[in-house]
């Protein structure tokens, strides 16, 4: 289970990406429920949102909705078909968390089609059976005639 996101702070000046060693704008600073912090950049968040929303995210931004008596902070997410949704911060954080938790599944689907016999995970026991072949493989010897 992933940590719960408490707050995301957007820094429009950017920050040095440790993976690429280049400055990227904007940078997003995450605060988690266990008081740990992390930093993500736009492309990572778009990836996690796309997985969490199960649709390709084209753009997202933080916005303030003002009324006569109050104001509300929302995150606007625009999908590849240009349909947009407004999410309250807790829902937006939940979508990122869901995308992060399911990222490995999504990566596997890119390279292995769903109908492929390799799509499902095969658990092979660590100890072989009498003939030295793990039982999950069901390998039969063929006679050369």
The confidence score (pLDDT) of residue 145 equals 46
Q: Specify if 121 maps to a domain.
A: no
Q: Indicate the pTM of the whole model.
A: 0.69
Candidate from 87-91, 110-114, 140-144 with smallest mean pLDDT: 140-144
The confidence score (pLDDT) of residue 123 equals 53
Q: Specify if 83 maps to a domain.
A: yes
b/e burial code for range 28-47 (CB count within 10 A of at least 16 → b): bebebeeeeeebbbbebbbb
Q: Specify if 133 maps to a domain.
A: no
What domain count does the chain have? 1
- 127 pLDDT exceeds 90? no
Give the mean model confidence (pLDDT) for residues 37-50: 92
* Structural domain harbouring 85: 5-113
The SS3 call for residue 132 is coil
- 78 pLDDT exceeds 60? yes
């Amino acid at each position: 289970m992933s940590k719960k996101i408490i707050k995301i702070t957007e820094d429009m000046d950017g920050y040095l990406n440790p993976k690429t060693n280049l400055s990227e704008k904007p940078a997003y600073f995450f605060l988690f429920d266990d008081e740990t912090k992390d930093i993500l950049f736009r492309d990572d968040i778009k990836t996690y949102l796309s997985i969490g929303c199960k649709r390709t995210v084209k753009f997202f931004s933080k916005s303030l909705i003002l009324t006569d008596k109050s104001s509300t902070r929302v995150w606007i997410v625009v999908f590849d078909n240009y349909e947009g949704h407004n999410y309250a911060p807790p829902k937006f954080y939940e979508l990122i968390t869901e995308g992060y938790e399911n990222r490995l599944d999504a990566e596997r689907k890119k390279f292995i089609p769903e109908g492929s016999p390799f799509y499902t995970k095969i658990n092979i026991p660590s100890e072989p059976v009498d003939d030295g072949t793990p039982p999950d493989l069901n390998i039969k010897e063929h006679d050369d005639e």
